[in-house]
Amino acid sequence: MNDDAASGAKVTIADVARVAGVSKAVASRALSPQPRPVSADKRERVLAAAKSLGFRVNLLAQSLTTKTVNLVAVVVNHIHDLSDLDLFDRLLADIQAVGKQVILIRVGSVDKVDEFLRRGVAYHVDAALVFSDFADAATVRRMFRTDHVIMLNARHDRLSPAIMPDEAQGIGEAVADAARKGVRTAILVTGRATSLIEQTRVASYREALTRHGIELMKLVQGDYSYVSGHAAAAEFAGEALPDAVFCTSDAMAMGIFDVYREQFANNKPRAFRLYGFDDLSLLDFDAYPIASIGYDKAVYVQEMVRMISDPENFTPGRPPVVVPTRFVSRASAG
Amino acid sequence: MNDDAASGAKVTIADVARVAGVSKAVASRALSPQPRPVSADKRERVLAAAKSLGFRVNLLAQSLTTKTVNLVAVVVNHIHDLSDLDLFDRLLADIQAVGKQVILIRVGSVDKVDEFLRRGVAYHVDAALVFSDFADAATVRRMFRTDHVIMLNARHDRLSPAIMPDEAQGIGEAVADAARKGVRTAILVTGRATSLIEQTRVASYREALTRHGIELMKLVQGDYSYVSGHAAAAEFAGEALPDAVFCTSDAMAMGIFDVYREQFANNKPRAFRLYGFDDLSLLDFDAYPIASIGYDKAVYVQEMVRMISDPENFTPGRPPVVVPTRFVSRASAG
DNA sequence: CTGTTAGCGCATTCAC
DNA sequence: GTGAATGCGCTAACAG
C-alpha cells in the first residue's frame, strides 16, 4: 500500500473520525467487532476511512478503558515443560482463535520469578496458564494479582481451577496390558520426586503393579531426560532383567530403548517390555516404537481455552477438570 | 467477595502517592528505574508505600506515554518453524534477560494472514522477529506498526534488517566431505520451493556439487517432514542408489534413515552416505547419527537480542547480519 | 442513533 | 526538588 502505512505511521481513531466526518465515538462504535448503534452509512464511511488510512486500534489504549487486554500468560519453567510441540502449537492456535494472544513467560530457576514479574506485563494479563511447577496456586495469584489462574501442575487449591490428566487410568491400562502378557517383575524409572505430579504418578504405578501382582524389583531415579534414560539402563544392565520396564517419561524410555536397541530388533521385545509416558509424537517415528500413555491433546487444550473464555470458571470451589488418559500400544510392549 | 491484596487489587500510582504523601509525579520519579530528581526521604516513603500496597506499574498504561512496551513479537507460521526447541528456549531466556517479554504469534496458513491483518490482533510491540515466511518485510511493518522488524526468513528489504545463516559455507563443507570420501553421485531431497531460503539452499547445493564434480542424479521434492523423508526414500528405492543423499532438513533425513536403517548398522553407511540439515539436538540421540549442517544457536540468538536492544540497528540500508554455519560429521557420513 | 465529556494509569512538560 | 496540568488513544457514560 502507500508508504506511510507501510512504515508504521501512527494513525489514531481521531484521524479516522475526522476523515469520515464523524465523532470519535461513532468511529469507535463502527470499528467495534460487537454490534453497536451506528447508522449504516456512517459505518461505511468510517470503515472506508480506516481502510484507506491503514488504521489499526491501539490495543494498549483500548485495554486501558476496557480493563481487558486479551492477553494470556503461559508460564513455564523451561520450554521443555511443554512436553510436546504439538500441544503447544495447538494451544497457541486455539487461544488466538478466541481473539487472545499469548505472552510466553519462561521462569527458569525458581529464585528469579519475582524479578520477572516485577517489571512484567504479566501482572495485567487476563489469565495465566501455569505449567511450571515453581509455585503453588496462592503464590501465583499473589504474584499475578489475579484470580484468573489455571494450574496445570497439580498445585491448585480451592480458588484456582485446574486441568489435569487422569493419569491413573492410563497407567492402569498399561500395567494391565503387561500383566495380560505375563509380566511378573518390573522396574520403574522415575523423574525428580519433587514434583507433585511425579509423586502421584509413581504412586499410581505402585498401586497398579500391586493390584496385578507384579513385583516392583526396584526404582531407578532419572530426570525425565534421554540421557538419564541411558544412565538408568546402565544401572540395571548387569543385574537380572525384569519382565518390563516402566518409565515416567518417553525421553527416558527412548534412552533405555537405544541401549537395548538390538534386543528390540524385528519389533519383538526380548530383554523386557518397555513402556514410556507422554505419547510424544516422536514415537510415531520408526526408530522409537515405544508403547506409551497419553491423552487427547485437543481435549486438553480445549478445556484450557474454554476456561479462560468464561470468568464464571474462576469462581471458588470448582473441582479440577479431568482429562482422560489412555494406553497406546506399540512394538516395545510386545 | 475477596477484595484482599491477593485477589486483583487495583493499586495505581495515585494510591502510592497518596499514602506516601507526595504528588503522583514524585511517586513516578521515585519508582523509575532511571535516576531522576527526588529527595532521598521522599523516595524512601514512596518505595515503602509501593511495597506495602503491592503496587506494580501497569506496563500497558506506561507504554501509552513512553511508546515502548518491552514486548517483542515472535512471528511463526507454526511452532515447528522454530526448528529446534533449544533455539527457542534460548531465545526466550535471552530476550527476558534484557528486560523484555515475548508475545508469540502463530500465523498458521498463508491464506489467513489477511484476516490477521484485518483484525489487527497485534499489539504495538517494540520489535518483531519474523521466522514465518508468510510475508515480506513491508507487510510485517504495517501489521505491527513498527519499523523494528527483524527478518529471519530472508525476506528482508532496505528498511528491515535481517539475520541469516551463511548456509553456503556449511553446505560447501558437507559436499567437500562427501567428495573427499569418494562420492561421485548424489540425490538432493528438498522442501517446498516456495520459500526463498529453500531456493537459495538448493542453489548452494547445486553449486557445491558441480564444483566438486559430483553428479546430481535427481532432485526429490519433500516438505521438510519426517513423513516426506519416508516417501522420498521410497521414491528412489528401486533405482540405482547414489553415493550420497543430501537433505535440506534433518527430519527428512531421519525418515530416509529409518527406511534404510539396516544399511546403517554398526555405524557404517553401506547403501549411501546421508547428510541432513539443521543439526537438531535430536541427532545426538543414538538412533539418528546423521551428519548435518548447523550453526551456533547461541550466536544466532545473541545477534537477535543485540539488534533488538539498539534502535540504531534499524536505520535503513543495514546489510544482513550473517551467522556462520558448519558441517557436523556423524556416522551416517561414514 | 449521535456527539460531547470524562476518565483509564502513567510520564512528562513547565512553572514554581 | 517539586507538583499542577497536559496528553497518550481509546471507550463508557451521558446527554441530546
Domain with CATH 1.10.260.40 in chain A: 3-59
Pairing of strands B215-221, B185-190: parallel
- List every span in chain A annotated with CATH 3.40.50.2300: 71-163+298-315, 166-295+327-333
More confident residue, B293 or B107: B293
| pLDDT surpasses 90 at A162 | yes
pLDDT digit string (tens) for B244-263? Answer: 999 999 999 999 999 999 89
Contact A61 B64 (CB under 8 A): yes
**Closest partner CB to B59 (pick from A124, A141, A159):** A124
* Residue whose CA lies closest to nucleotide C9 C1': B61
- Phi and psi, residue B313, nearest 5°: -70, -5
Contact, B219 CB vs strand C, < 7 Å:
no
- CATH placement of domain A3-59: 1.10.260.40
Longest dimension (CA), chain A: 86
The whole-angstrom distance between B180's CA and the closest CA on chain A is 30
User: Does A59 reach chain B within 8 Å, measured CB to CB?
Assistant: yes
d(Cα A283, Cα B79) in Å, to the nearest integer?
19
Three-state secondary structure string covering B160-191:
CCEEEEEHHHHHHHHHHHHHHCCCCEEEEEEC
What region does A99 belong to: left with phi over 0, alpha with psi -120 to 50, or beta? left
Closest-lying nucleotide for B58 based on CA to C1': C9
Cα B162 from Cα A125, distance rounded (Å)? 31
Residue with cell 539402563: A233
Cell of B271: 547403501
* d(CA B13, C1' D2) / Å: 17
pLDDT at residue B157 is higher than 70: yes
Pick the CATH number of B166-295+327-333 from 2.40.128.20, 3.30.1370.60, 3.40.50.2300, 3.40.50.720: 3.40.50.2300
Q: What angle do CA B117, B119, B121 make, to 5 degrees?
A: 85
- Residues whose beta carbon sits under 7 Å from strand D: A 10, 12-14, 24-25, 28, 31-32, 55, 57-58, 61-62, 64-66; B 22-26, 37-39, 42, 64-65
What's the order of all strands across the beta sheet hosting B292-295? B163-166, B321-328, B292-295
pLDDT at A87 (0 to 100): 87
Q: What pLDDT shows up at residue A267?
A: 61
For residue A195, give the DSSP letter: S
How close is the nearest chain A Cα to the Cα of B73, in Å?
Answer: 9
Contact state of A141 with B6 under an 8 Å Cβ cutoff: yes
Q: How far is B208 from chain A (nearest CA, A)?
A: 31
pLDDT tens string A299-330: 999 999 999 988 888 888 999 999 999 999 99
SS3 A229: helix
CA A124/CA B60 separation, integer angstroms:
8
A20-34, A138-152, A297-311, B118-132: the lowest-pLDDT one? B118-132
Distance CA B195, CA A21 (A): 44
Coil, helix or strand at residue B318: coil
CA A23, C1' D7: Å apart? 19
Q: Are B153 and B110 in contact (CB under 8 A)?
A: no
Query: How far, in Å, CA of B292 to CA of B274, rounded?
Result: 9
Count Cβ atoms within 10 A of the Cβ of residue B21 and give its class: 0-12 exposed, 13-18 middle, 19 or more buried: exposed
Q: Judge contact between B250 and B280, C-beta under 8 A.
A: yes
The cell 523516595 sits on which residue? B43
- Whose grid coordinates read 454490534? A35
Q: By CB neighbour count within 10 A (0-12 exposed, 13-18 middle, 19+ buried), where does A265 fall?
A: exposed
Architecture per CATH, A71-163+298-315:
3-Layer(aba) Sandwich (3.40)
Locate B317 and state its grid cell.
540500508
Q: Does B112 touch chain A (CB under 8 A)?
A: no
Across the interface, whether the CB atoms of A120 and B101 are under 8 A apart is answered: yes
φ, ψ for residue A322, nearest 5 deg = -105, 130
Query: How much is the average pLDDT of B104-110?
Result: 82
Question: What are the grid coordinates assigned to B3, written together?
Answer: 477484595
Pull the grid cell for residue B246: 543430501
Greatest Cα-to-Cα distance within chain B, rounded to the nearest angstrom? 86
Does residue B285 belong to the interface with chain A, where contact is any CB pair within 8 Å?
Answer: yes
Res. A141 pLDDT band, cuts 50 70 90: confident
B64 touches chain A (CB under 8 A): yes
pLDDT exceeds cutoff 80 at B162:
yes
Give the burial class of A275: count Cβ atoms within 10 A of its Cβ; 0-12 exposed, 13-18 middle, 19 or more buried: buried
Non-local CB neighbours of A112 within 8 Å, separated by 6+ positions: none
CA distance B167 to B293: 8
Q: Where are the beta strands (DSSP E) in chain B?
A: 71-76, 101-106, 127-130, 149-151, 163-166, 185-190, 215-221, 244-247, 273-275, 292-295, 321-328
Could you give the CA distance from residue A280 to residue A85 in angstroms, rounded to a whole number? 9
Q: Which helix (H) or strand (E) holds A220?
A: strand A215-221
A98 and B CB contact within 8 Å: no
pLDDT the model gives residue A110: 65
Identify which of A59, A11, A19, A75 has the alpha carbon closest to the alpha carbon of residue A304: A75
Mean pLDDT of chain A, nearest integer? 87
Cβ-defined contact of B106 to A96 (cutoff 8 Å)? yes
Give percent helix, percent strand, percent coil of chain A, each to the nearest 5.
Answer: 50, 15, 35
Give the confidence band of B196 by pLDDT, cuts at 50, 70, 90.
confident
Calculate how close chain A gets to B80, using CA atoms only, in Å.
7
The residue type at B98: V
Q: Is the pLDDT of residue B3 over 70?
A: no
C1'-nearest nucleotide to the CA of B14:
C9
Query: Which cell numbers in the block locate residue B51?
Result: 511495597
Q: Which residue has the higher pLDDT, A84 or A285?
A: A285
Q: What whole-number distance in Å separates Cα of residue B304 and Cα of residue B101?
A: 14
Q: Give the closest nucleotide to B26 (alpha carbon vs C1').
A: D2
d(CA B133, CA B151): 9
Per the structure, the residues numbered 21 to 80 in protein chain B that have their CB within 7 angstroms of any atom of strand C are: 24-25, 28-29, 31-32, 55, 57-58, 61-62, 64-66
- The DSSP 8-state label assigned to residue B333 in this structure reads G
Task: Provide the pLDDT for residue B119.
Answer: 60
Taking the C-alpha atoms of residue A106 and residue A213, their distance in angstroms, rounded to an integer, is 43
The residue that leads in pLDDT, B46 or B36, is: B46
The one-character DSSP state at A247 is E
Q: Which residue has the higher pLDDT, A75 or A267?
A: A75
Q: Which residues contact A44 (CB under 8 A, 6 or more apart)?
A: none
Do A6 and B138 lie within an 8 Å CB cutoff? yes
Is B1 an 8 Å CB contact of chain A? yes
**Cell numbers of B122, please?**
497485534
Within an 8 Å CB–CB cutoff, is residue B311 touching chain A?
no
If phi > 0 it is left, if psi is from -120 to 50 it is alpha, else beta; for residue A324 that is beta
Report d(CA A143, CA A107) in Å as an integer: 13
Instruction: Give the per-residue pLDDT at B81.
Output: 64
